Chains A and B, each alone.
Chain A
Amino acid sequence: MNIRRKQIYTTILLITLPLLVLVIALFVGRYPKPIWMNPALLGSDEIAQRLVLNLRLPRTITAMLLGMSLAAAGGVMQMLFRNPLVEPGFLGVSQGAGFGASLCIVFLTTNPLAIEGVATLFAVLGLAFSYFFARKMRYGGWLLRLVLAGIAVSAFFSAGLGILKYLADPNSQLQQIVFWLLGGLYSITWKSLLYILPVVIVGIIIIYLMRWRLNLLALEDETAFSLGVSVGRERTLLLAASVAVTAVVISVAGIVAWIGLIIPHIARRITGANAANFIPVSISLGAIFGILCDSLARTLMPGEIPLGIITSLLGAAIFIFLMVKPNLKVKA
């Protein structure tokens, strides 16, 4: 029963490590001075208290959920599309959210909650269009059609986004659009955290519980069918869970690239391809990576660095490192 014990230890590690990073991150920032705040300050300084409880705590939890969601959704999408280079926003979800947020900024309001709502709506619309066109398309298999439809829908939204940028007031709206597109958690409050929390929890639980089935769904349809899998139904459920968590986190955080692509890769390097093993690791690493990137974003410079820039920078660097060192393999 050595294996069982090892599994239990691994699970405990995968849960406690992100929580530990979360607690540490609460004391990282630029108050009272850059980088580190003495935890003892919480007892005496009221500003420190309010800063940690009302700003850093919801923000850091959101960063954790963001990382978990994108990493889990990325892992699922890569399995469902049998393609390790797929990322969670590619079915029109990211570009849809970007378009929706910009639409809201230019024509409606700059209220963050309103932007989140409209962004979610368009993220889901992006997926719905991709799905609809894929159904109508008369070419190729189902997965290929979804990919093609996703590319086309993304292109449409990105063109629309271009028009909105052109129309936007360069002194106020345009800046806001650009900042939103670069991603960031600077506007997170408890309210926006509560807005995404239920969807993220339900989505991640579904993905976690069905993680072994992902291996079956990555098989050719006829093989999966012969193994008793209801391919269409199970694939739709997992796709829906992934898109839902992606859409809500993008709606509050803007477009945060690379997490959904790179974290599942690293997880697979550690555990091997079996989704039963790599999905939990991916979720845990995603949580840590999310917190880490957000902490860097708000600490490195006096002004905030957009989160998307940090994730892209780190993500791309790690990606290149992994690609040029193909034999870097940790034995599970």
Chain B
Amino acid sequence: MSDRSLLTIDDLTFAYNTTQASALDRVSFEINAGTITTILGPNGAGKTTLLHLLLGLRKPASGSILLEDLPLHEYSRRNLSQWMGLVPQSEHVSFEYTVLEYVLLGRAPYLGPLELPGDGDIVIARDALQKTGIAFLEHRPIPALSGGELQLVLLSRALAQQPRILLLDEPTSHLDLANRNITLRILDQLRKEGTTILFTTHDPEAALIVADTIVLMNKGRVLAAGGFEETFTSEKLTQTYGVPVEVVRTDGIQVVKSMGRLS
């Protein structure tokens, strides 16, 4: 793990509407290269908004985002898209693309406005499918895929972008346990290969499994940021979710409990 901060988020504030409360309120934390950071919080905490600001899709009202010590807005759109890939929470696909065609869209940051993907791009797209373990789906039409497979296609598309930073919006929220574990395992592997990963989730367990750094958010604010010791306490999680949450340790594994069985 390197200590060098790749992304520095400093005092970030953002509101969708001047009359409304801030969606993000003085958010600050750092992301180190080659680590997995998890933004953990309930629905409506401002997680997706934060991702949009990191992408450059929205501009902060105040505060700054530094990518390798340079403000984000000094990067061109194209340059930024070579840096960062996004895996959206879900995607509605209206047309019957094949998986390979869809993953090839991830090559856009490297192609000119009138250019079509070439053989080299196909090699990279196939490599991305290999990494996510769905190379066998290459010729399958997208509408014929299961939810878990579609999620892996979206991840493959982002990998075809060859990003140094991978942003994922709730990557596990639609998945069953088996597919969630597959996704988290792939993220772990990507981290080993040097990719910096940031994902949002409302599932504390997903954070427990892979995160190096956890950022707890609620109502647009960062309640805590750091490793497990600093963030995964019963008190802080209770504060984050607004319901009683207990962190217990069984057989050396931390488990999050928020509710007993209702009779």
Contacts from A to B (Cβ < 8 Å): 79, 82-84, 209-210, 212-213, 215-216, 218-220, 222-223, 225-230, 234, 268, 272-274, 276
Q: Is the CB of A220 within 8 A of B55?
A: no
Task: Write 10 A-B pairs (CB below 8 A) sorted by A numbering.
Answer: A82-B94, A209-B114, A212-B111, A218-B94, A218-B95, A223-B88, A225-B55, A225-B57, A226-B84, A228-B82
Q: Is the CB of B77 within 8 A of A228?
A: yes
Q: Is the CB of B96 within 8 A of A272?
A: yes
Cα distance A215–B94 when bound, in Å? 11
Which residues of B lie under 8 Å from residue A230 when comparing CB positions? 77
Q: With contacts A209-B114, A212-B117 known, is A228 near B95, CB below 8 A?
A: no
B106 contacts the other chain (Cβ, under 8 Å)? yes
Q: Is the CB of A228 within 8 A of B94?
A: no
Contact of A273 among B57, B81, B96, B111 (CB under 8 A): B96
Contact of A220 among B91, B106, B116, B167 (CB under 8 A): B91
Contacts from B to A (Cβ < 8 Å): 52, 55-57, 77-78, 80-82, 84-86, 88, 91-92, 94-98, 101, 105-106, 108-109, 111, 113-117, 161, 167
Q: With contacts A210-B113, A212-B116, A216-B108 known, is A226 near B95, CB below 8 A?
A: no
Which residues of B lie under 8 Å from residue A213 when comparing CB positions? 113
Q: With contacts A218-B95, A273-B95, A273-B101 known, is A227 near B109, CB below 8 A?
A: yes
Question: In the complex, how many angstroms separate the beta carbon of A322 from the nearest chain B beta carbon?
Answer: 13
Question: In the complex, how many angstroms separate the beta carbon of A140 from the nearest chain B beta carbon?
Answer: 15
Contact of B161 among A79, A222, A225, A227 (CB under 8 A): A227
Which residues of B lie under 8 Å from residue A210 when comparing CB positions? 113-114
Question: In the complex, how many angstroms separate the beta carbon of A112 from the nearest chain B beta carbon?
Answer: 37
Which residues of B lie under 8 Å from residue A274 when comparing CB positions? 97-98, 101
Which residues of A lie under 8 Å from residue B80 when comparing CB positions? 228
Cα distance A276–B98 when bound, in Å? 13
Q: Is the CB of A268 within 8 A of B95?
A: yes
Cα distance A228–B115 when bound, in Å? 14
Sorted from nearest, which 3 A-B pairs have the closest CB atoms? A228-B81, A273-B95, A226-B86
Q: Is the CB of A227 within 8 A of B57?
A: no
Which residues of B lie under 8 Å from residue A272 when comparing CB positions? 96-98, 101
Contact of B91 among A83, A216, A219, A234 (CB under 8 A): A219
Question: In the complex, how many angstroms separate the beta carbon of B130 from the nearest chain A beta carbon?
Answer: 21
Q: What residue in chain A is nearest B115 (Cβ atoms)?
A: A212
Question: In the complex, how many angstroms separate the beta carbon of A276 from the nearest chain B beta carbon?
Answer: 6
Question: In the complex, how many angstroms separate the beta carbon of B218 from the nearest chain A beta carbon?
Answer: 23
Which residues of A lie under 8 Å from residue B117 when comparing CB positions? 212
Q: Is the CB of B101 within 8 A of A226?
A: no
Cα distance A273–B139 when bound, in Å? 12
Q: Is the CB of B114 within 8 A of A84?
A: no
Which residues of A lie under 8 Å from residue B56 when comparing CB positions? 225
Which residues of A lie under 8 Å from residue B97 when comparing CB positions? 215, 272-274
Q: Is the CB of B105 within 8 A of A276?
A: no
